[in-house]
Structure 1
Amino acid sequence: MNEVKDIKVVFICIVSLLVLYTGSVLALDSLTLKEALRAGLENNSNIKQSHLEVEKSEYDLELAERNWYPTLDLKSSYTRLEEAPPELDFTTLKPSEGSQNSYNTQLTLQQTIYSGGQIGLGIKQAEKGLTLAGLQTEQEISEILYNIIEAYYNVLMAAERVEIEEEALKVVKEHKRIVQSSFKEGVALKTDVLQIEIKEGESEQSLQNARNQLHLASKNLANLIGRDEQDFQLVSPDIQAAVELDLERLYQLALEKRPELNMITVNKEIVETNIEMEERSHLPRLALAGNYSWQGSELEFDDGSWSISLSGSLSIFDGGKSSTTEKKYQKELSRLEESKSDLKELIRLDIESKILTARENRAGIELKELNLDKARENLRLEEMRYQEGVGTNIDVMNAQTTLKQTKIGKMQAEYQYQLDLFELLQKTGQLTGYCEEVITNEK
């Protein structure tokens, strides 16, 4: 009776654990590629820092524009004298005792009239700085987007490989059952049993390796999007890249849209502005100043005195610093131009290489599809030959390995082809706009 109760308790515990496990699996959220990209953009610290740099550049621009604004200063002081100074009474023309209090107040308004172009050029520099910060943010976003896409596809590939390895292990176990049955009937050798047992161990190890790779791939994706790797389950990508594999067209798009190239262009413009500022450093500067001051023994502002002055300054000789600085900036221009030329060549070569890889993977998908049908048929025939006693155990295991490798190769080619297209979008500066369009313009 007690044994029956114990069995019931164990059964209830097992059922409860199964329910809890099933509930946790069903609780997993399905994570689409669009949702992963949104989460990555919202949670990535590098992108947050880039947006802060843009905001900082906006303040720099505002500060540069405010250099045209007038300045207004108020200065006031109070002095307590040890002895009151004598004052002249103009009615009696006799001296009288004054006050020990002394107040001094001064109000000054100053407005720049002409800065030799320095303020205008400073505003221009700040505008270029803001543009540069925006391009740096765009580059950061593009890299993050591709990293998330690549991580997403890596998880899908790893998950599908686990399924292939599990299926392959089932095939091996089934073949092991046949071999063991044949051995008991005396129609198979002991070496056949040992060989299939070795193969089974290799398949189990390969499956464990695939599961480890899936765990690491999921963890990498989770880190990129700021999620717990256990709280989501991926679905087929809801974003597909569409790219025409035309080298010249893609290269021209890259020249127009690549943030790195545009950043070099903006940096050149900043250096050119610096050169112009040095050239204008010898121009005069004019400022208008208005002053109102009052002094007395009471804190009053009547009967004060005012003045207006126009001041100018001109740098006559600076020890050759400006000319030397201009030469330094000219060298920097040459360096930037050389860097841009090298980057163009690298971009063209990179795009051409990726186009060739994409074409290879696209052709490989069709070839591996045909090979997959052949590998399935080959395994079926080898298993029949072995059961009929005209084939060998080694031939069956080789056929099993070929089928598994063909499945993995086809799967990888399909996913890698899509990654090639996304990478081409990234290399041509289109990925940010492409993903923004498909993510935000949903119906």
Structure 2
Amino acid sequence: MKRISIILLYIGIVLPMFSQKIYTLKECRELAVKNNIKMRDAQMSIEQAHETEKNAFSKYFPNVSAGAVYFHSNDYLMKKDVSLSAEDKQGLSSIISQMGLNPSALASLPSSYSFDMLKSGAAAQIVAMEPIYAGGQITAGNKLAKLQTLVKKLQMRQSKDEIVSSTETYYNQLITLFEKMKTIEAADNQLKRIHQDAENSYKGGLSTKKDMLTVEIKQNELIANRLKVENGIKLCKMVLAQYIGMNGIDIMVDTTITEDIPEPSSYLVDHTSAINNKVEAQLLDKDVEANVLQTKMKKGALLPTVSIGAVGVYADLVGNGQANVIGMATVSIPISEWWSSNHTVKHQKIAEQISRMDREDNRQLLIIQMQSAYNDLDNAYKQIQIAKKSIEQSTENLRLNEDYYKAGTGTMSDLLDAQTSNQQSQDKYTEAVCQYLNSRTAYMIATGREVF
């Protein structure tokens, strides 16, 4: 029974370690793009822009409005008392006689009358007006709305590039720390071997105990460094997990450091041509286009607006409802706006000129940025070559100092210095490789290319 429990414990602890998912850089990038809050915000901004497009397109349709009113008063709204004078009666008698009637009938009629009207009533109307000409404002507004959607899409691509670059930075930081841990393990084995040699020399009477204590102090320093690296790994894994949408999960990554380090010239492109593929350059173009369209809209506000339409009216005020349809056309000329809005147009023209000048200036800065990114890549590549030579030299130096110490012609201090130098050269190589990878991605993004 005890044996079965041990087996089950082994299965429960060891097997999950082997089955844990190991994420590659590509997978981390994909997860970051999918789950990062910036991408979700960017996607929602595009949806907002689409709604703005639909709203702008609706301006092509007729403007329809409707209204209705019903009223009921506690008294008649129109009252009139009419009295007939003698002259009025004589004139009315003459009219009745001409009609072939007996004028004596007037004697039975009253000489004064009261008229009461409009105590309650109802009216309704519906108006439909179609803009025929609005100074080009509707067309320019639709183009501007579509342009804003394109801008949002470019900004989303910009966010994607930023996320891809940041993901690789976090990923390579983690690789650097794992490689440092490997270096610490190798250094620990070296110190154990050096300590054993020092102990043998001490027992053989060839050295003092001071050499052993010096090695032990170095081993304690290595233990402290190991703790720092272990804590760094934990923190870096948390940061990467949160960034790719797996917050709280103890992720594992592929810690294999690449040996494929192509020369920077294999990625070099013509920067003047590449600028057209860069998101920032395209955004500068869109900014100029937007200012041009805004200028057209400001000018259009000074032009006449022509609309045609129809009005349907129904009224029931005296108990006899009646419906009518009226066709109409309107022309609106903003005369008073010509003075104030003319300055608005000039203001917008200046803004358009500024956007053009800013575009040219920033395009030049983008080319400089590309060259700077390439210089960083070239420098990182050269640092790798230097680090490789340092590893060869420090490894040979360590071997020689070990031989000198064993032969009694070298000191423990020189041996430990050689061991430290060897460890540092290994760490610098790892840092140089990761810096090269980060710089390569930065250069690809700077030249408007997809990161592989």
Instruction: Place the TM-score, normalised by the shorter chain, in its bin.
Output: 0.7 to 0.9
Is the alpha carbon distance of 1:211 and 1:382 closer, same or farther for their aligned partners in structure 2, counting shifts above 3 Å?
same
Provide the residue aligned with 1:440 in structure 2. none
Is the alpha carbon distance of 1:167 and 1:12 closer, same or farther for their aligned partners in structure 2, counting shifts above 3 Å?
farther
Provide the residue aligned with 1:265 in structure 2. 285
Contact 2:263 2:381 in 1 (8 A): no
Contact 1:365 1:410 in 2 (8 A): yes
Provide the residue aligned with 1:32 in structure 2. 24
Does the alignment pair 1:162 with 2:154? no
Does the alignment pair 1:406 with 2:425? yes
Larger radius of gyration: 2
Is the alpha carbon distance of 1:15 and 1:380 closer, same or farther for their aligned partners in structure 2, counting shifts above 3 Å?
farther
Deviation at 1:30, TM superposition (A): 0.9
In the alignment, residue 410 of structure 2 is paired with which amino acid? G
SS at structure 1 position matched to 2:206: coil
In structure 2, which of residues 344, 348, 363 is the aligned counterpart of residue 329 of structure 1? 348
Does the alignment pair 1:429 with 2:429? no
Counterparts of residues 241-260 of structure 1 (less than 5 Å): 245=265, 249-260=269-280
Provide the residue aligned with 1:140 in structure 2. 159
Shifted more, 309-318 versus 288-297: the winner is 288-297
Provide the residue aligned with 1:288 in structure 2. 308
Is the alpha carbon distance of 1:289 and 1:168 closer, same or farther for their aligned partners in structure 2, counting shifts above 3 Å?
same
Shifted more, 212-221 versus 126-135: the winner is 212-221
Counterparts of residues 6-405 of structure 1 (less than 5 Å): 20-82=12-74, 102-228=121-247, 230-235=249-254, 236=256, 245=265, 249-296=269-316, 303-318=322-337, 320-405=339-424
Show CA shifts across 1:337-393 (max 9, x none): 343334333323332233223223323334433442343333233223222222221
SS at structure 2 position matched to 1:316: coil
SS at structure 1 position matched to 2:403: helix
SS at structure 1 position matched to 2:269: helix
Is the alpha carbon distance of 1:429 and 1:22 closer, same or farther for their aligned partners in structure 2, counting shifts above 3 Å?
same
Say how many residue pairs are matched: 415
Contact 2:175 2:257 in 1 (8 A): no
Q: Which residues of structure 2 form unaligned runs of 5+? A: 79-113
In the alignment, residue 200 of structure 1 is paired with which amino acid? Q
Counterpart Cα distance in 2 of 1:254 and 1:120 = 33
Q: Which residues of structure 1 form unaligned runs of 5+? A: 1-7, 87-94, 436-443
Q: TM-score if structure 2 supplies the norm length?
A: 0.82
In the alignment, residue 45 of structure 1 is paired with which amino acid? I
Shifted more, 370-379 versus 311-320: the winner is 370-379
Percent of paired sites with the same residue: 20
Counterpart Cα distance in 2 of 1:216 and 1:253 = 42
SS at structure 2 position matched to 1:48: helix
Q: TM-score if structure 1 supplies the norm length?
A: 0.83
Counterpart Cα distance in 2 of 1:243 and 1:310 = 72
Cα RMSD after superposing both structures: 3.3
Show CA shifts across 1:90-147 (max 9, x none): xxxxx99999763322222211111111111111111221111111111111111111
Contact 2:241 2:250 in 1 (8 A): no
Deviation at 1:48, TM superposition (A): 0.9
Is the alpha carbon distance of 1:16 and 1:194 closer, same or farther for their aligned partners in structure 2, counting shifts above 3 Å?
farther
Show CA shifts across 1:68-93 (max 9, x none): 1013333233333546899xxxxxxx
Deviation at 1:399, TM superposition (A): 1.9
Shifted more, 30-39 versus 375-384: the winner is 375-384
